[in-house]
Amino acid sequence: MDDATRRPRGRPKAWDDKTEQNTIKSLDRALAVLQRLGESEGITLTDLARDMGQSTATLYRVLTTLEGRGFAEFESDSQAWHVGAGAFLAGAPFLRRTSLVERARPIMRGLMEYTGETANLGIAQGDHVMFVSQVETHASIRAFFPPGTLSPMHASGIGKALLSAWDKTRLEQYLARSERERFTNRTLVDARLLSADLSMVRKRGFAIDEEEKATGMRCIAAPVFNAFGEAVAGLSVSGPVARMNEATTPKIGAAVREASQSLSEALGRPVGAHLA
């Protein structure tokens, strides 16, 4: 068989050979660092070096290389390294292959058409929400969160929806460690006030961002669960308070709650199971 008829290969003949000669050590080390960043909620260079048994000089070169590509981010106040948005952008094609984003799209489209507002899908990324998908409204004034955008948990509808689904220990740890920035005079930075709000979220089945991140914008969100009852994402509708007002909130909240339940069931959650 000549080259013109030979089938293209995705792997060489010895693809199953995992010997050292077929491993790029520097790449393997960089991927190990990226994986460790993903497992942490922020880690210093010193702690990373201790955990991985590597020198700080070597790991600093790896981190700065990842930072240059957007795969890592450095927080100067805490001296901690985090996974960067570049990791999401590189993984976005994988997300498109997975059931969460794929199954969410038609539900989000229906939610946008019913409410007339932008529908969003977000996942937890440390103490932030990362928006992974959006279906925009056709209205001229609308919310916009491009994929990869991060928003603090405490000042996000999806963030509060996810927090409401966390167990007591995990939530207490979050409240103890997080530095909750005040964005508007409505931002809930006090742990007691935030906890009380989360209790309301559990009772009604959806969270409300009452201009807590941006003045003039409101967001209504509900958690999405997988087959194991774990909150893996949040669905929301966002728009200006002129349209999303107190009169429309119950109707929109019910629609968001129903949409999140439909997506949860599409991910294997038993039909009719409690979502919070």
Domain boundaries, the chain: 20-83, 88-266
User: Residue 10's pLDDT is what?
Assistant: 47
- What gap in Å lies between CA 19 and CA 117, rounded to an integer? 54
Phi-psi region of 211 (alpha: psi -120 to 50; beta: other; left: phi over 0): left
Query: Of 135, 129, 124, 185, nearest to 156 (Cα)?
Result: 129
Cβ-contact 255, 114 below 8 angstroms: yes
More confident residue, 141 or 127: 127
The pLDDT tens digits for 32-42 are: 999 889 878 88
Q: At the top level of CATH, which class does the domain 20-83 belong to?
A: mainly alpha
Question: What dihedral angle (degrees, nearest 10) is formed by the CA atoms of 218, 224, 230, 233?
Answer: -60
Mean pLDDT of 181-206: 95
Confidence of residue 264 (pLDDT cuts 50, 70, 90): very high
Q: Which two tokens stand for residue 36?
A: 């460790």
Question: Which residue has tokens 């119950």?
Answer: 250
Mean pLDDT of the chain: 86
User: Residue 9's pLDDT is what?
Assistant: 54
> Any residues with CB less than 8 A from the CB of 142 and at least 6 apart, and which?
117, 118, 136, 238, 239, 240
CA distances 196 to 102, 158, 193, Å, are 34, 17, 5
Kindly tell me the sign of the dihedral angle through the C-alpha atoms of 70, 76, 77, 81.
positive
Mean pLDDT of 237-264: 93
Confidence of residue 66 (pLDDT cuts 50, 70, 90): very high
Q: Matching CATH topology for 20-83 and 88-266?
A: no
**Quick one: 88-266 is in which CATH superfamily?**
GAF domain (3.30.450.40)
Is 122's pLDDT higher than 60? yes
Q: Average the pLDDT over each of 27-41, 108-122, 173-187 and give the range with the smallest value.
A: 27-41
Rounded to the nearest 10 degrees, what angle do helices 168-177 and 191-204 cross at?
150
The pLDDT tens digits for 133-158 are: 999 887 766 676 677 788 999 999 99
Q: Average the pLDDT over each of 125-134, 155-164, 247-256 and give the range with the smallest value.
A: 125-134
Cβ-contact 201, 160 below 8 angstroms: yes
Mean pLDDT of 108-130: 93
